[in-house]
Amino acid sequence: MTRFRKELSVIPWAAWVIAVLVYLGLAVLIVTVPVRTDAEIQHWPLWAKTLLIAGPGLPLAICVLLIGYVNGDARRRGMRYVLWTLLAALIPNAIGIILYFVLRDPLTTPCPRCAAQLRPGYTFCPKCGAALAQACPQCRSAVEAGWSHCVRCGTALPSA
């Protein structure tokens, strides 16, 4: 499965249904009102009528799918998904959607021992206590490979 397909699977099915209904509803509205009543539009070529009918609903359907993506992705990342969905839907000009992409939390990763979802930067699993990174023997804060001393307490670290 490609990464694009994996990201599309984050969008809830309800957002897909709403997007299709918005697209079809706008297309039907355009067919019933301007295309049938305006005499000038009836003389347009077929490709122009098709573009008129299919065009305006596409940006709205994409906007609905983006709001659905914000909902599913925020849920996947352990964020307040209802709040982010409302912000994405109610702040005009897609600014809420852009804010979400700028401010979203990083993806969680599973613990290798108990599979609990963990945020990046954890040294120990909060559920089972498994060591996820090297830790200082004195203060137990995370240390990186190659450090000779702990940045928190100054303890000399054993060389690996």
Tens of pLDDT along 89-146?
999 999 999 999 999 999 888 988 998 888 887 888 899 988 888 888 888 888 888 8
Sorted by sequence, the CB contacts under 8 Å of residue 103 that are 6+ apart come out as none
Q: Where are the domains of the chain?
A: 3-107, 108-160
Pinpoint the alpha helices (H) of 55-141.
57-76, 81-90, 95-103
Q: Is the pLDDT of residue 33 over 80?
A: yes
Query: How far apart (Å, rounded) are the C-alpha atoms in residues 155 and 144?
Result: 14
Tens of pLDDT along 145-156?
888 898 889 989
Other C-beta atoms closer than 10 Å to the C-beta of 104 total 14
79 exposure class (CB count in 10 Å sphere: 0-12, 13-18, 19+): middle
pTM attached to this predicted model: 0.75
- Residue 160: pLDDT band (50, 70, 90) is low
Q: What is the dihedral of CA 141, 146, 147, 148, to 10 degrees?
A: 120
Query: How far apart (Å, rounded) are the C-alpha atoms in residues 120 and 107?
Result: 8
